[in-house]
Amino acid sequence: MDIDLFLSKLARVRKTGANSWIACCPAHDDESPSLSIRETEDGRILIHCFAQCSVHEVVEAAGIRLADLFPSHHKLTHCRPERRPFPAADILRAVAFEALIVASTGASMLAGHPISTTDRDRLIVAVSRIQAALTAGGLNHG
């Protein structure tokens, strides 16, 4: 599949660098773009949702097949794994909103306000997404 065709299936697409973009993930109700997209030199399209949607969920929601992310002449056995497939700037953009959730919850707690079950659950999601972003960036955080 051509990268332009793939990008046309997504909302709020922004170019973030050479052969890389960020967009709203079609697999969940995305308030802030969390899907990082990169086209490799050999024509593969790499995608990662920082909200933890699987690649299968993303391609299904976009109405394409997993095979569409690979050029037709490409053989999977010859793929070299990407060491850090997503630019740090994309990871930081995806984490920024989650960091605001953590900061505002912490400030509320410091002010003596009790944390609701809904806010606690959202804080857990934010922390999980930040950890997923670190993993996607190839950072060891353990």
Determine the pLDDT at residue 110: 92
Helix (H), strand (E) counts: the chain: 4, 4
Q: Which two tokens stand for residue 17?
A: 């660098």
pLDDT tens for 32-70 read: 899 999 999 888 999 999 888 999 999 999 999 999 998
Q: Measuring CA to CA, how many Å separate 6 from each of 33, 46, 121?
A: 16, 11, 33
Determine the pLDDT at residue 140: 59
Percent pLDDT > 90 in the chain is 46
Angle, vertex CA 141, rays to CA 35 and CA 138, nearest 5 = 50
Chain centroid offset of residue 119 CA:
22
Q: How far, in Å, CA of 97 to CA of 67, rounded? A: 31
Determine the pLDDT at residue 37: 96
Q: Domain locations in the chain?
A: 3-78, 88-136
